[in-house]
Structure formats: structure tokens, C-alpha cells
Amino acid sequence: MPTRTARLAALGVLALAASPALAHTGAGAAASFMDGFLHPLGGLDHVLAMVAVGLWAGVSGGRAVWSYPLAFLSFMVVGGLFGIADVGLPAVETGIALSVVVLGAALAFGLKLPAAAGAALVAAFAVFHGHAHGAEMAAGADAAGYAVGFVAATALLHGIGIGLSPRAVPRLPLMATRAAGGAIALAGIGLLVL
């Protein structure tokens, strides 16, 4: 029981620490490992999508537990490199908001995909998240440190999601995860209309 309470408290702290606004200001002020680490935690859109990836991986089980987060992290780095290089990517904010809707809906409806298909889906969305992270990096900043920071924070959020899944917390009913998925999807719809 204390472990579940600690996990839920950690998720609550992260959710409350995240700004209700999007994390992308376009200011390009981020320059260090800590800036990179804080960037995914600074916006509700990133927090919800990244925790949802972990939850969906945990609920799906098997290879999904490692392939979904690994695919997300890998393609987020690709998107981050595009953002750092100032390579344009259309509809970044829309792609990020859609990721929240789709990943939340996958949880809410208990979507079961082969691990490769689920990994491909999260990878596609990860490019948008990564682009947003990379585009925020200041010119001349420590790109490697900044990237390691946003990858570490994202891995932490995935881990929280996996840790909150019914597979990790057997007494947690699957319906609680589905309800969380529905709430995440609704928040994503809210992000789309903002």
C-alpha cells in the first residue's frame, strides 16, 4: 500500500508542477542539462503524453513494456535534432495535442496492438515532442547536455506510467487505468481547442 501511495503522490506532484500552459514558448532560452530535464516537466501536454506511453506499455505488457518507451525516446531524439537544426516540422503543437488524445484513448478503450505497431505509433508522436524540445534550445548551448536532460525526464515519466500500471500495482483495477486514459484523452481535446 505505501508503494502505491508513493507512486500516486509522485504522479500528483509532477502533474501539479507542470504548467497548465504548453511548454513551448518559442523563446529559445534553454541551454543546459537542467533546462532539458525541466522542459518535458514544464507542460501538461508532455507530462500527460509521456505518462500515457508508460501506462499503455505497462497495461500492454510483454515487449511493449520496453519497446514503447524505447521507440518514444529514440524518435524524440530524432525530432529534437530536427528542432535544434531548425528544420521545420508542420503542426508541432497539433501533433503533440493529438498524441495526448490518441494515447489517452488507447488506454481508455484498452487498445491492444502488436508491440511493433504500438511502438511505431508512439514513435510518430515522439518526433513532435522532440522537435518542441529541440526548438527551445538556445543557440550555442550544450546540445548534448540539454538532450540528455530531456531524455532523462521523459524516461522518468515513462517509468512513472509503467509503475502506475495494473501490472506493477496488482491491486489497482484496470478500470482505474481506463478512467485515467479517458481523462488524459479529454485533456488532449482541451489542448487541441486552446
| The pLDDT of residue 12 | 46
Burial of 175 (0-12, 13-18, 19+ CB in 10 A): exposed
Cα–Cα distance, 141 to 136 (Å, whole number): 11
User: What burial class does residue 173 get, using C-beta atoms within 10 Å of its C-beta: 0-12 exposed, 13-18 middle, 19+ buried?
Assistant: exposed
Q: What is the pLDDT of residue 8?
A: 45
How many Å apart are CA 52 and CA 4, to the nearest integer?
17
| pLDDT profile of the chain (194 residues), mean per 10 | 47 42 47 86 93 96 96 96 91 95 96 96 97 85 88 96 87 87 95 88
